[in-house]
Each structure stands twice: as structure tokens, then as C-alpha cells.
Amino acid sequence: MRYYLSIRNRSSRCCDSAVTLAAAPPSGLELVSSYQTNRVGDPMDLVALASQVQKGDDFIKANACNKLTVIADQIRYLQEQAKKVLEDAKRDADLHHAACNIVKKPGNMYYLYQRPSAQKYFSIISPKEWGPSCPHTFVGAFKLQHDMSWTPVDEVEKKDAEMAIMDKLLSQQTALPPYTEPNFKGLSD
């Protein structure tokens, strides 16, 4: 016959308890398996458990390394973007400080020249319009954008295409669709 230990609390104080032995398990449920507590374990179970723990550690380390690699790549990309922003800001500031005898209007192309004294100035006359009688060294052509930034002539077409896309998105004035799951529509086209 098996005996089961049952502890009952007579009052709200924790030290005032009674212990009784019962012949049947409480609520018909055996709390501890006698098979698991009395059997002699297989020594290979311990090795398998250690192997499982090591495998888990390896997977966790690999996943953490992969995620950190992605973050490191993102940091490098952001650093490159920050460097480009600072270079563009310096170029734009330098161009805004160039001498100019006309009112600069966004959307127009301006031509930068340099005098023998090293002074740079803007003109609305291109080197092609000057022909062989161009009075000073041509430095470059720039378009003044509406945000008052300068775009070099070789990047104007790309910038205009980007702006056209942004204008199209803004002019549609459509609300975002109520997607609750990731939407990859349009990425494969």
C-alpha cells in the first residue's frame, strides 16, 4: 500500500499546519512519478542532453552573429550616407557663397566659372554660348533645386526623375491600404 503526504493549513498563519498520511493520491493524481524517481538512468542520456545544449548554444551564437552582421552592414551604409550628406552640404554652402550678380531662382541651371584671382562666380551663360571667347575657366554646371540644394549637371536627369516620382506620389493623394501583413506587391516587377 502506498501512502501520500498531504499538508493542510488550519489557519492563515504559515507555521500552523497539520501533516496527515492518506492511502489515496489527492484528487486521484499522483504528483511524482515513482518510475522516474526510482529508475537507474542511461548514461548516454546525459551525453545526449549535453549535446543538445551545445547544439542550442551553437545555433544561438550563429543567429546572433548573423543579426549583428546585418546591423554592422546597416551602420556602414548609414555612415556612407552621412558622409555623402556632409559632402553635399559643404558643396552647396560653397556654391551659395560663390559670387553672383543675378537673383538665383530654383529650377534654373547656373554655370560656375573661376577668375585668375581664384574667385568663383555664377553665370547664366553656358560655355557653349560663350564659344571660344569664354573669359574665365569653366568649373561646372549646377541646377538650383527648390530646396536650395545644388545638383551637378551630370546628376540632373536622375534627380529630375526622382522628383517626378515624388510629385506623382504626392499628387495621387491616396490613403495607404489597410494591410496587416507584409506587402511585397510591385517588388517583383
Residue 84 CB burial class (10 angstroms; 0-12, 13-18, ≥19): exposed
| pLDDT for the residue numbered 71 | 96
Provide the total of helices (H) and of strands (E) in the chain, helices listed first.
4, 6
Residue 95 CB burial class (10 angstroms; 0-12, 13-18, ≥19): buried
Contact, 141 vs 148, CB < 8 A? no
pLDDT band for 51, please (50, 70, 90 cuts): confident
Q: ∠ CA(157), CA(127), CA(110), 5° rounding?
A: 50
Q: Average pLDDT in the 69-86 region?
A: 96
Residue 180 Cα distances to 132, 173, 176, 185, 186, angstroms: 64, 21, 11, 14, 17
**Better-scored residue on pLDDT, 172 or 151:** 151
Paired sense of beta strands 17-22 and 137-144, if any: unpaired
Question: Tens digits of per-residue pLDDT, 125-160?
Answer: 999 998 888 889 999 999 999 999 999 999 999 998
Q: Which span out of 4-13, 85-94, 174-183 was modeled with the highest average pLDDT?
A: 85-94
Beta strands in the chain (DSSP E): 4-9, 17-22, 109-114, 120-123, 137-144, 150-152
Residue 41 has pLDDT above 80, yes or no: no
Question: Tens digits of per-residue pLDDT, 88-108?
Answer: 999 999 999 999 999 999 999
Distance CA 78, CA 72 (A): 10
Paired sense of beta strands 17-22 and 120-123, if any: unpaired
**DSSP for 36-84, written as a single string:** HHHSPPPHHHHHHHHHHHHHHHHHHHHHHHHHHHHHHHHHHHHHHHHHH
Tell me the three state secondary structure of residue 133: helix
Contact, 25 vs 4, CB < 8 A? yes
